[in-house]
Amino acid sequence: MKLLLCMLCCAAMLVAAEKTVYDFTLNSIDGQPAPLAAYKGKVVLLVNVASRCGYTPQYSALESSYEKYKDRGFVIVGIPANNFGAQEPGSNQEIKTFCSSKYHVTFPMMAKVSVKGDDITPLYQFLTDKSSNPQSGGEIKWNFTKFLIGPDGRVITRFEPEMTPDSPQVTSAIEEALASLKS
């Protein structure tokens, strides 16, 4: 009996260790379920965004990066959050209008979630969990934190808000991940 329990625990731990971002579903900014599994095989940049933040102009660089790489298997997923300085107070419709009219955003946008605290969304609970993601885990510090996800759904790296989407560090990481799609 003890052996069976031990085997079951080990199997459960293996399954938990195999979790990826593709195991999560958010809602699109229009309220429809948006399983991240739809991006399997692509390189994904997950970004918690806000409309009234000092980093909000990064939307321009995010859109440029998306346009530059989308035909090579790259997607950006914007995830609005109001966790920092109440810098994303609007409704999903207001956020969508702001992003499309001011920054001409065409990459997928999700419905507003919480990226830290007691009401943290399960995706961000996973992304920030040090045991699941020892290299990139840790609490989100501010808006525009970026997680680069490989085609297998695993976190490649994390970029803090001050690292712009068009910085050499981010673009080289994207290009390296995209090169892996060819092999």
- pLDDT tens digit at each of 183 positions of the chain: 555 455 555 545 544 458 999 999 999 999 999 999 999 999 999 999 999 999 999 999 999 999 999 999 999 999 999 999 999 999 999 999 999 999 999 999 999 999 999 999 999 999 999 998 888 999 999 999 999 999 999 999 999 999 999 999 999 999 999 998 875
- In a domain, residue 168? The reply is yes
CA distance 59 to 108: 12
CA distance 116 to 83: 7
The owner of tokens 């001050």 is 162
- In a domain, residue 12? The reply is no
- In a domain, residue 7? The reply is no
What per-residue confidence (pLDDT) applies to 90? 95
- In a domain, residue 88? The reply is yes
Token readout for 143 is 């808006």
- In a domain, residue 2? The reply is no
Residue 71's alpha-carbon distances to 25, 42, 74, in angstroms, are 24, 10, 7
* Whole-prediction pTM: 0.90
Phi and psi dihedrals of 154, rounded to 5? -95, 150
The owner of tokens 């995830």 is 79
In this structure, are strands 146-149 and 33-35 parallel, antiparallel, or unpaired? Answer: unpaired
- In a domain, residue 13? The reply is no
Q: DSSP for 87-131, please give it.
A: ---S-HHHHHHHHHHHH---S-BBPPB-SSSTT--HHHHHHH-TT
Count of structural domains within the chain: 1
91: CATH: 3.40.30.10
What per-residue confidence (pLDDT) applies to 183? 57
What per-residue confidence (pLDDT) applies to 17? 54
Which residue range forms the structural domain that includes residue 170?
23-182
Catalytic positions, please?
Answer: 53
- In a domain, residue 8? The reply is no
